[in-house]
């Protein structure tokens, strides 16, 4: 859920008495494209699965915003490009798929008209939105209590830490509440129409535009050439999430299912070849049941 914060790619170290050595713990959620990035990194780099653990943090219920989780959240591992030119291109490509305008979490809660909104409101999207806002409210109250207690105890260090958590949660709460207001009809008609227009633009303008830029910028067959890079982990994780949202799976032909959602815009040859290569990679096939649940 790319929403300004990276809630699903935290790492921490843990160990049990029976462990020979501490294991890294990857906190993630199957539907988050950002959490797919480190999972692909681990598989592509050949890390044995007994060297790390995967623990699920339910972002659909807002558990990624719990104060305790926010304290351990971190960033995904990276694979360094070989040259400065590759590094610049790598960052450019990653920025393209991480743009808020094509964020899969945003696309999932778009509605191009009142009819689509009613369907989503009654479906899983509506349930998740309500659960998320309820969880954010609860976590925010806990964080505010923690901040108040730290101030009362004169603990400046702890007060600062809690203050940072409160600031994050308040920002997420306001953003989420704005969407809740739209979905519940608590905004005026002008705001509602703006939301529909933004939703249509996301699918028919911004998404095709991003694909067009990827088509030009990627060198092929992978993002930077003959071998996968960290850019590929971001791009394919993002692309898989888009394909899954459009009803596709881990087969070459599934990519065409995205085109009707973009108003019939055809995807370029390079993107099609790119998808065809990735759906055959062992790392992708291993994650396919998670990326495309039946």
CB 73 within 8 A of CB 206: no
Domain assignment present for 85:
no
Can you give the pLDDT at residue 46? 80
> How many domains does one find in the chain?
1
Q: Quick check: is 118 in a domain?
A: yes
Q: How do residues 18-47 score in pLDDT, each as one tens digit?
A: 444 556 666 666 667 777 887 788 888 887
Residue 55 tokens, joined: 């623990």
Cα(182)–Cα(195) distance, integer angstroms: 8
Residue 10 confidence (pLDDT) above 50: no
Q: Can you give the pLDDT at residue 19?
A: 46
In a domain, 148, yes or no: yes
Residue 188 lies in a domain: yes
User: Does residue 26 lie within any of the structural domains?
Assistant: no
What is the C-alpha end-to-end distance of the chain, expressed in Å? Answer: 21
Q: Which of 50, 99, 128, 66 is nearest to 202 (CA)?
A: 99
Instruction: Say what the pLDDT of residue 15 is.
Output: 40
Tell me the average pLDDT of the chain.
Answer: 85
Q: What is the pLDDT of residue 129?
A: 93
> Could you tell me if residue 94 is inside a domain?
no
Q: Please give the model's pTM, rounded to 2 decimal places.
A: 0.76
The verdict on residue 156 lying in a domain is yes
Confidence band for 153, pLDDT divided at 50, 70 and 90: very high
Domain housing 172: 114-195
- Over pLDDT 70: what percentage of the chain? 80
How far, in Å, CA of 78 to CA of 27, rounded? 16
In a domain, 184, yes or no: yes
Q: Which tens digits make up the pLDDT trace of 216-257?
A: 999 989 999 988 899 999 999 999 999 999 999 999 999 999
Q: 221, 273 in Cβ contact below 8 A?
A: yes
């Amino acid at each position: 859920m790319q929403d300004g914060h990276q809630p699903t790619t935290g790492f921490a170290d843990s160990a049990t008495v029976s462990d020979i050595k501490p294991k890294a713990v990857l906190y993630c959620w199957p539907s988050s494209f950002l959490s797919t990035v480190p999972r692909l990194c681990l598989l592509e780099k050949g890390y044995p699965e007994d060297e790390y653990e995967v623990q699920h943090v339910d972002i659909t219920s807002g558990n990624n915003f719990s104060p305790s989780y926010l304290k351990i959240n971190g960033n995904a591992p990276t694979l360094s490009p070989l040259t400065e030119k590759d590094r610049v291109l790598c960052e450019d490509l990653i920025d393209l798929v991480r743009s808020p305008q094509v964020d899969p979490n945003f696309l999932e809660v778009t509605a191009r008209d009142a009819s689509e909104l009613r369907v989503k409101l009654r479906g899983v999207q509506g349930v998740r939105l309500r659960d998320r806002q309820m969880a954010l409210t609860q976590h925010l109250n806990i964080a505010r209590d923690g901040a108040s207690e730290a101030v009362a105890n004169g603990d400046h260090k702890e007060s600062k830490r809690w203050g940072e958590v409160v600031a994050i949660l308040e920002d997420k709460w306001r953003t989420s509440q704005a969407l809740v207001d739209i979905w519940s009809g608590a905004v005026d008609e002008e705001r509602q129409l703006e939301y529909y227009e933004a939703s249509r633009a996301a699918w028919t303008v911004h998404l095709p535009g991003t694909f067009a830029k990827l088509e030009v910028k990627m060198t092929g067959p992978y993002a930077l050439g003959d071998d996968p890079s960290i850019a590929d982990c971001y791009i394919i994780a993002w692309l898989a999430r888009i394909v899954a949202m459009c009803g596709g799976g881990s087969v070459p032909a599934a990519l065409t299912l995205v085109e009707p959602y973009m108003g019939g815009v055809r995807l370029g040859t390079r993107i099609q070849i790119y998808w065809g290569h990735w759906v055959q990679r062992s790392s992708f096939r291993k994650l396919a049941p998670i990326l495309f649940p039946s």
